[in-house]
Amino acid sequence: MPSPSHAVSVLRVAVAAPLGELLDYLPPPGGTVPPGTRVLVPLGRARRVGMVVSAALETTVPTERLKPIAAVIDPAPLLTQADLDFLLWATDYYRADPGEALFGALPVRLRQARALLDERPLGWRAAADVATAADALHRAPRQRELLALLAATPQGLTDAELHARVGNCDGPLRALAARGLIARCRLHAAPLDPVPAPARDAPPPLNEHQAAAVAAVAAGTGFGCFLLDGVTGSGKTEVYLALIERALAAGRQVLVLVPEIGLTPQLQARFARRVPAAMVVLHSALADTERERAWRAAATGAARLLLGTRSAVFTPLPELGLVIVDEEHDLSLKQQEGFRYSARDLAVRRAQQARCPIVLGSATPALETLHNARLGRYRQLCLPERAGGAADPDILVADIRAQPLETGLSHALLTRMDQVLDAGNQVLLFLNRRGFSPVLTCHDCGWISECTRCDARLTVHRGRARLVCHHCGLEQAQPVQCPDCGSPDLRPLGQGTERVEDTLRQRFPGLPLARIDRDSTRRRGELERLLACAQRGEHRILLGTQMLAKGHHLPGVTLVGILDLDHGLYGSDFRATERMAQLLIQVAGRAGRAERAGTVLLQTRHPRHPLLALLLREGYGAFATAALRERLEAGLPPFSHQAMLRADSPEEQAALDFLTEVLAAARPLAPPELEFWGPAPAQMERRAGRIRAQLLLQAPSRALLQRVLALLLPRLRALRRPTQLRWSIDVDPQESL
Ligand code: ADP
Ligand code: ZN
Ligand code: ZN
């Protein structure tokens, strides 16, 4: 039942707490506070940081229970009305807690009640004139000289400036300060130091497809969403750069989102070499102060180009004129924890709000993006050929059903490797499983290494002599005897990259080899180093996980061997084949990027899988058409819309019971077209000691799904639940497990 409303002027505040709604407060005694300003508010007995999002003239809170804002943190708003509108739209769409989501979108330092960094440099100003100080200083000529200099420079001088003019003068400065004749103070604002601009590379002349794509985007006015569908190496980045240059020349800011900056250091360097304007980068590896600086530079307009990972989509950019999302199909653009959102989808919304074009680029567009293009919502621009004349790689299939394998390597693959290595070229081997082997077993009693906290097996990491759970991080020493029967005959079963590396080193002794996975690149800068060596051709064999699949140019590679993608063919997630196809094409795209043609050899036990066969025969576009037809027949996204409710608890049954109650609350709110699947145990029911369950909602339209969620969420939040139970909502989930 709606509460009566009371006429009183209040401020709506997004409080950084899991509240699910905005709270109303009275303005502080001094007067009102503009939206976008951080404040401190009383909540229960504590004080919390919050952000004013709007003012209102009525509230449902009884007047006597209204409390005033306790303190104002920012002297001026941090966010504009447009920034707030976008953020609140996002929290509403994804059914997130507005306060948590809004503060999660700010740089870490600003999530707390801390003032913005003071960017003005420290320096000195005169506190007395030379005449009055003449007596005191008549035996101190250096001090007199310094005081005269500072007195003649009323805006003050920084330490660096003083050093430049008079040499080292720390002693005399201290003496002057001790006499109270000069004062330490903050001086004029420092200029932003964006990524420095080295010599610019000249762009190559665009080929006809690239030029047509640039022209199509440039011809539009206002919002427009373009899908740049270009095979790997077709010159998508050159199209981005040409569009960026135009937008910058028109005085606009540009936002470029990429899946993972750490994995593509080359891209960042290429942008820095080519973009003739102040550029900042934003990603999670930055220190907090660096992040805040970059964020501020974007918000004030000092930075003209922002290159960032998914959360950069929330950065204020007052003059935004172009958005680019590279590798738009990549799962890293989806936030999977806390405030769950799709940075790609939000980027489209953002461009719509800013009335500017957005370009989604990929060699393997997501099926939902292709669907949007086919419906005419997005305009598809194709780059069908590799730029610079490189040929497409041939993809061959090695049927390994009845074949003896040498640590996962077929005879066919090894023979090809010999040829390519003899010819002096590079080989890339792809296996998406790190560690030595995915399980350790006892040959005598059948014991297998299992995680005590998850429904999962412990991976053998032989280099470290440890068993590791890849799901919860549990680690233990690798046993020398079976924990059950005491037998010493323990055997690793199956292979990960570490084991394949061992085999390769034995078979190709002395040949330089690099293994590139999360274990071998833990040290900062190691990935860059390995990739740079690989590019120079120093390693003859590259062996890696999906870290190697992303966007790297490896011009000397003429053979790509894909050891195992079969789990993607019959995975339990309906998106498994889509992901398998994307990975296959992305890995294949590393081969033969320069003048040398490349070959890809795929090992599989399912050479006749219809979608795989289609992909290999006719390419990703044909695969996508067929996969979309299957989705249509099954009524799955993008032909329907989903939201996933997940719950977990250390107690058996608690998560399922909670979701059963949610379902009971939800049914009366939903028309029959809305389907509920579950509640059911999660695919991996126990993870990190918690028992997990899920309930899927599926609707024929986004609008219907949103309507039901809007009714359901307040009721769900009001349900009683055990203190240990956690729940979350994921709108447009990318993993339905
Ligand atoms: P993508 O982003 O589609 O993978 P890139 O833009 O990185 O492709 O281009 C692949 C390679 O082709 C790069 O080495 C790039 O310098 C080169 N290239 C791109 N466009 C052209 C062009 N028009 N003429 C010559 N070389 C080009
Ligand atoms: Zn045993
Ligand atoms: Zn575990």
Q: Do 140 and 284 sit in the same domain of this protein?
A: no
Tell me which residue has its CA closest to atom 19 in ligand 1.
Answer: 235
Report which DSSP code applies to 406.
B
Q: Do 350 and 240 sit in the same domain of this protein?
A: yes
pTM confidence score:
0.88
Tell me which residue has its CA closest to atom 21 in ligand 1.
Answer: 387
Q: Ligand 3 mean position to 469 CA, how many Å?
A: 5
Q: Ligand 3 mean position to 662 CA, how many Å?
A: 28
As for how many domains the chain has, the answer is 5
pLDDT at 77: 93
Mean pLDDT confidence for 346-372? 97
Q: Do 204 and 170 sit in the same domain of this protein?
A: no
* C-alpha closest to that of 688 among 726, 720, 661, 657: 726
Cβ of residue 388 lying under 6 Å from some atom of ligand 1: yes
3-state secondary structure 83-128: HHHHHHHHHHHCCCCHHHHHHHCCCHHHHCCCCCCCCCCEEEEECC
Confidence of residue 592 (pLDDT cuts 50, 70, 90): low
Q: What are the tokens at 137?
A: 């200083």
**In which domain, by residue range, is 699 found?**
641-731
Q: Report the residue among 237, 258, 264 best suited for mutation to probe ligand 1: largest number of ligand atoms under 8 A from its CB.
A: 237
pLDDT at 149: 87
Say which amino acid occupies 150. L
- Longest CA span, the chain: 100
Q: Ligand 1 mean position to 342 CA, how many Å?
A: 28
Helix or strand (DSSP H, E) at 498 = helix 497-507
Q: Do 416 and 551 sit in the same domain of this protein?
A: yes
CATH number of 660's domain: 3.30.70.600
Q: Do 234 and 351 sit in the same domain of this protein?
A: yes
pLDDT at 358 > cutoff 90: yes
Q: Do 543 and 398 sit in the same domain of this protein?
A: yes
> Is position 475 within any domain?
no
Point out the domain boundary residue: 111, 136, 168: 111
Point out the domain boundary residue: 158, 186, 214: 186
Burial of 60 (0-12, 13-18, 19+ CB in 10 A): exposed
Q: Which own/partner pairs from 236-240 qualify as long-range (CB within 8 Å, at least 24 positions apart)?
A: 236/326, 236/361, 236/363, 236/383, 237/267, 237/270, 237/326, 238/203, 238/204, 238/206, 238/210, 238/387, 239/206, 239/210, 239/213, 239/214, 239/359, 239/361, 239/383, 240/324, 240/326, 240/359, 240/361
Nearest ligand for residue 447 CA: 2
Q: What is the pLDDT of residues 609-637, one digit of tens each?
A: 999 999 999 999 999 999 999 999 999 99
Tell me the average pLDDT of the chain: 90
> Is position 452 within any domain?
no
Q: What is the pLDDT of residues 236-288, one digit of tens each?
A: 999 999 999 999 999 999 999 999 876 666 788 888 888 888 899 998 888 88
> Is position 476 within any domain?
no
Nearest ligand for residue 273 CA: 1
Cβ of residue 207 lying under 6 Å from some atom of ligand 1: yes
Tell me which residue has its CA closest to atom 25 in ligand 1.
Answer: 388
Q: Do 516 and 594 sit in the same domain of this protein?
A: yes
Q: What whole-number distance in Å separates Cα of residue 190 and Cα of residue 629?
A: 57
Q: Do 166 and 46 sit in the same domain of this protein?
A: no
Cβ of residue 206 lying under 6 Å from some atom of ligand 1: yes
CB 430 within 8 A of CB 587: yes
Q: Do 566 and 417 sit in the same domain of this protein?
A: yes
* C-alpha closest to that of 294 among 188, 194, 190: 194
What are the two backbone dihedrals, phi and then psi, of residue 209, each rounded to the nearest 5 degrees? -70, -40
* C-alpha closest to that of 347 among 370, 327, 367: 327
Q: Ligand 2 mean position to 447 CA, how many Å?
A: 5
CATH number of 577's domain: 3.40.50.300
Q: Do 621 and 513 sit in the same domain of this protein?
A: yes
Cβ of residue 441 lying under 6 Å from some atom of ligand 1: no
Point out the domain boundary residue: 111, 144, 167: 111
Q: What are the tokens at 34?
A: 């503009």
Cβ of residue 233 lying under 6 Å from some atom of ligand 1: yes
Confidence of residue 197 (pLDDT cuts 50, 70, 90): low
What are the two backbone dihedrals, phi and then psi, of residue 326, each rounded to the nearest 5 degrees? -90, 145
Q: What is the pLDDT of residues 385-400, one digit of tens each?
A: 888 766 777 889 999 9
CB 560 within 8 A of CB 597: no
Confidence of residue 38 (pLDDT cuts 50, 70, 90): very high
Q: Do 95 and 137 sit in the same domain of this protein?
A: no
Q: What whole-number distance in Å separates Cα of residue 684 and Cα of residue 472?
A: 12
Q: Are strands 224-230 and 379-383 parallel, antiparallel or unpaired?
A: parallel
> Is position 178 within any domain?
yes
> Is position 450 within any domain?
no
Q: Do 354 and 280 sit in the same domain of this protein?
A: yes
pLDDT at 1: 45
pLDDT at 325: 98
Cβ-based neighbours of 342, under 8 Å, separated by 6 or more: 333, 334, 335, 732, 734
Q: What whole-number distance in Å separates Cα of residue 721 and Cα of residue 648?
A: 11
> Is position 60 within any domain?
yes
> Is position 480 within any domain?
no
pLDDT at 554: 83
CB 51 within 8 A of CB 88: no
Tell me which residue has its CA closest to atom 26 in ligand 1.
Answer: 388
> Is position 412 within any domain?
yes
Cβ-based neighbours of 405, under 8 Å, separated by 6 or more: none
Q: What whole-number distance in Å separates Cα of residue 214 and Cα of residue 224?
A: 13
